[in-house]
Amino acid sequence: MTFSASMLRGANGVVDHRLARRALINEVKRGRISKDSVCDAHPELIRAARNLGEETSTPCPICEEVNVVLLTYVFGHGLPKHGRCITKRSEITSLQKSPHDYAAYVVEACPSCSWHHLLRVLPVTGRRPAQRRGATSS
């Protein structure tokens, strides 16, 4: 099983990711949802969180042992199905220079307990050429 966008919790049909996150955390705190069922990040996601995660000052809402880290995955034309984990802002800038549209998924993940949740999805809009499209095939 390879990592994909659909494995990012909250990626399907949720509009307000922060609201969904808070509701889910509340359910765990009340004991209606087990910790195991929310601390199930794909090993690939946790590996990326340990190596590439952007540190935050937000304690993990589930284990409260360490701070969560942020990861940004970009999906779209020419990128792997499992997305590309962005580590530098310049990578976003270079995508913006392409004629294609991409979606950047910002995920928080806990390297300790494997909690993960989608925080937001940002459109990365490519630069449309002024003249008609489709002439080149780069």
In the complex, the smallest distance separating the C-beta of residue 68 from Zn ion, rounded to whole angstroms, is 7
CB-nearer residue toward Zn ion: 17 or 108 = 108
Q: Is 20 helix (H, G, I), strand (E, B) or coil?
A: helix
Residue 110 binds Zn ion, judged by CB under 5 A: yes
Residue 109 binds Zn ion, judged by CB under 5 A: no
Residue 112 binds Zn ion, judged by CB under 5 A: yes
Contact letters for Zn ion, residues 48-67 (x by CB under 5 A): ------------x-xx----
Counted residue by residue, the chain has a size of 138
Q: Report whether 109 contacts 41 (CB < 8 A).
A: yes
| Distance of alpha carbon 104 from alpha carbon 87, whole angstroms | 12
What number of CA atoms fall less than 13 Å from residue 29's CA on the CB side? 10
Residue 45 binds Zn ion, judged by CB under 5 A: no
| Number of chain positions touching Zn ion (CB under 5 A) | 7
Name which of 60, 48, 61 is nearest 7 in CA terms.
Answer: 48
> Which residues make up the interface to Zn ion (CB under 5 A)?
60, 62-63, 110, 112-113, 115
